[in-house]
Amino acid sequence: MQLYYLPVHELHTMLAKRQISAEELCRAFFERIDSVEEKLKAYVTLTRENALEQAREIDRRIAGGEQISPLGGIPVAVKDNLCTEGVRTTCSSKILYNFVPPYSATVIKKLNAAGAVILGKTNMDEFAMGSSTENSGFFPTNNPWDPERVPGGSSGGSAVAVAAGEAAAALGSDTGGSIRQPAALCGVVGLKPTYGAVSRFGLVAFASSLDQIGPLTRDVTDCALVMNVIAGHDPLDSTSAPGQAPDYTGYLKNDVRGLKIGVPKEYMGEGISPAVKQVIERALATLATLGAEIEETSLPHSEYALPAYYLIAPAEASSNLARYDGVRYGYRAEGAADVVEMFMRTRSLGFGPEVKRRIMLGTYALSAGYYDAYYLKALKVRTLIKQDFDRAFARYDVLLSPTTPSPAFKKGEKMADPLQMYMSDICTLAVNLAGLPGISVPAGFVDGLPVGMQLIGKPFDEGTLLRVAYTFEQNTDYHKARPGI
């Protein structure tokens, strides 16, 4: 197989054995990027010179006899809502088209410390609002399995980069499914960690109580390796969980015997395409054969997750995005007579339609007279949704569902109807509302398009998710398939 299609753990072995240099590896990835990027448009910014310099530094360290860490010299991509000191960070928004942060996100500092080579910043739905990467303020990204289709979103660029060999691994962010959904549609592994497991410091906020950073990788082992670098307490994030993160690779056991897997019937019902359902049923059969105990269960408030989410997330977003006003950084509309006019024009020209729609919605939900009816109501329903999961986890080790209701859809198909687009996330939203970990792993194909299986775990039990996902992966071949691009 081509270098650029190998998983991180294999590349690491080659680097450690000096079968290849980090610089050669880096150049191989840039060659790949140069050959497919025009068709896919995964990146907003490439950091070629920085990357090669980082790679040469790793080579010097290897030459000096240093043991490199598992991500040392590995070419990775990061979503463009993670602040990178000295490198443009746009959130794929015109309002931040020229913003160069003077500081780096905690996860970026950790990647740097681990010796990872950052190739560039990936495209996304503007401010992470969307499920198709069509809401990018710059250009849409295409699915490598069928460039006429969307890669999912909002971390579409990161998913495509990994799926098409434009990066060995990537970071994304997930507020309602933004890592898992594109991972599923592009046939890669995507983990949204438990809320608080990974520091949010330096992640440009969309909805603060829901946002988490996580890895997109070729396989489950790589997922654990990336988690080992990015997880852990950060004193700069008040919502960061205390204590030390575990060694996630310790959970990579090919054994699910005796594990209890619950399948919420609401996630296998109406709205899920029959073909996707079939894929999931086959996956369940595989896990049963391997010794897992599988039962149908219920999360009775599931149907309320979508409306609750679309009040809570926009409300937080309306406040988080208030700072983009043209005063301190980013775009400013010219020629305004006074500050109010400058604010209004800057924001109207700087934000795209979906961002404005959500700011409007969130502002409305928080405004006088509507707070109790909409926002407070949604927070209460959030409690009920969380309680559903608490009850389920009293009986089951993990829950299993499709990641998305259908495989990748055609570009433009859902752009006219926001509610239809929001439905793409019906299997993933509730996990963010409850703050739980969720992983999507490749589970099969429908008409040549990848389908993802979602595993949902107890808080801070990424371990069991990784174990089930790893076992499934070791006994199937879906993760080895590569798009023919």
Partner 1 sequence: MLTIQEVEHVALLARLELSAEEKKMYAQQLGDILAYAQKLNQLNTQDVPPTAHVLPLKNVFRDDEAGEHLPPEKVLANAPDKEGQFFKVPRIV
Partner 2 sequence: MEYEAVIGLEVHVELKTKTKIFCSSTTEFGGEPNTHTCPVCLGLPGVLPVLNKKVLEYAIRAALALNCEIAEYSKFDRKNYYYPDMPKNYQISQYDLPLARNGYLDIEIEGRTRRIGITRVHMEEDTGKLVHQGTITTTPYSLVDYNRAGVPLIEIVSEPDLRSPEEARVYMEKLRSIIQYTGVSDCKMEEGSLRCDANVSVRPKGAKEFGTKTEIKNMNSFRALYRALSYEVQRQIDVLEEGGRIVQETRTWDEGRGVTLPMRSKEEAHDYRYFPEPDLVPLVIDRQWVEEIRAALPELPDQRRQRYIRDFGLPAYDASVLTATVELADYFEACVARYPDAKTVSNWVMGELARLLNAHNMEITQCRITPEQLADMLRLIDQGTISGKIAKTVFEEMFVTGNHPEKIVREKGLVQITDEGAIATVVEEVMAKNPKVVEDYRAGKEKALGFLVGQVMKATRGKANPEIVNRLFKERL
Which lies closer to partner 2 via its Cβ, residue 288 or residue 339? 339
**Residue 241 interacts with, from partner 2, partner 1, none (CB under 5-8 Å by kind):** partner 1
Nearest CB to partner 1, comparing residues 39 and 380:
380
Q: By CB under 8 A, what part of segment 310-329 binds partner 2?
A: 315-316, 318-319, 322-323, 325, 327-329
Stretch in the footprint of partner 1 (CB under 8 A) among 43-51, 62-70, 71-79, 301-309:
301-309
Distance CA 395, CA 143 (A): 38
Minimum gap (Å) between residue 136 Cβ and partner 2: 17
Map the footprint of partner 2 across residues 106-165, applying CB under 8 A: none
Helices (H), 101-219: 106-113, 156-163, 180-186
Give the binding range for partner 1 (CB under 8 A) out of 68-76, 133-141, 184-192, 329-337: 329-337
* Catalytic residue selected from 92, 93, 154, 302: 154
Helices and strands in the chain: count of H runs, count of E runs: 15, 11
Exposed, middle or buried by CB within 10 Å (0-12, 13-18, 19+), for 38? exposed
Q: Contact between 381 and partner 1 (CB under 8 A)? A: yes
Q: Catalytic pick from 21, 41, 79, 411?
A: 79
Considering beta carbons, is residue 304 or 445 the nearer one to partner 1? 304
Type of residue at 273: S
Coil vs helix vs strand at 166: coil
Judged by CB under 8 A, does residue 244 bind partner 1? Answer: no
What letters, b where the CB count within 10 A reaches 16 and e where it falls short, cover 436-456? bbbbbbbbbbbeebbbbbbbb
Contact call for residues 72 and 59 (beta carbons, < 8 A): no
Which part of the chain contacts partner 2 (CB under 8 A), choosing from 13-21, 99-107, 269-277, 470-478?
A: 99-107
Site residues (CB under 8 A) for partner 1, limited to 401-460: 418-419, 433-435, 459
CB of 202 to partner 2, least distance (A): 4
Task: Tell whether residue 201 is a contact of partner 1 (CB under 8 A).
Answer: no
The span of 39-47, 232-240, 288-296, 396-404 binding partner 2 (CB under 8 A) equals: 232-240
Does residue 343 belong to the site contacting partner 2 (CB under 8 A)? yes
Q: Which does 386 bind (CB under 5 to 8 A by kind): partner 1, partner 2, none?
A: partner 1
Q: Which of 178, 302, 406, 424 is catalytic?
A: 178
Of the candidate spans 26-34, 109-117, 216-224, 305-313, the one that interacts with partner 1 by CB under 8 A turns out to be: 305-313
Q: Which residue's CB is nearer to partner 1, number 48 or number 386?
A: 386
Structure tokens at 462: 């990424």
Size of the site for partner 1 (CB under 8 A): 69
Beta strands in 334-403 (DSSP E): 398-402
* Assigned token pair, 313: 């997330």
Query: Which residue, among 261, 223, 247, 248, has the nearest Cα to 442 in the 3D structure?
Result: 223
- Would residue 178 show up in a list of annotated catalytic residues for this protein? yes
79 is catalytic: yes
What would the two tokens of residue 403 be? 């990641």
Identify the residue whose tokens are 């440009």.
Answer: 204
Are 177 and 207 in contact, with CB atoms under 8 Å apart? no
Q: Are 458 and 120 in contact (CB under 8 A)?
A: no
The question of whether 414 is a catalytic residue gets the answer: no
Q: Least separation, in Å, of the C-beta of 322 and partner 2?
A: 4
Output the smallest distance, CB 205 to partner 2, in A.
Answer: 7
Angle at 123 between CA 122 and CA 129, to 5 degrees: 125
Q: Does 318 bind partner 1 (CB under 8 A)?
A: yes
Say whether residue 202 binds partner 1 (CB under 8 A).
no
Query: Which of partner 1, partner 2, none sits in contact with 297, Cβ below 5 to 8 A by type?
Result: none
List Cβ<8 Å contacts ≥24 apart for 248-251.
Answer: 248/223, 248/224, 248/462, 248/463, 248/466, 249/221, 249/224, 249/225, 250/463, 251/224, 251/462, 251/463, 251/464, 251/466, 251/467, 251/470
Q: Counting contacts by CB under 8 A, is residue 209 touching partner 1? A: yes
Backbone torsions φ then ψ of 337, nearest 5 degrees: -75, -30
- Catalytic residue numbers read 79, 154, 178
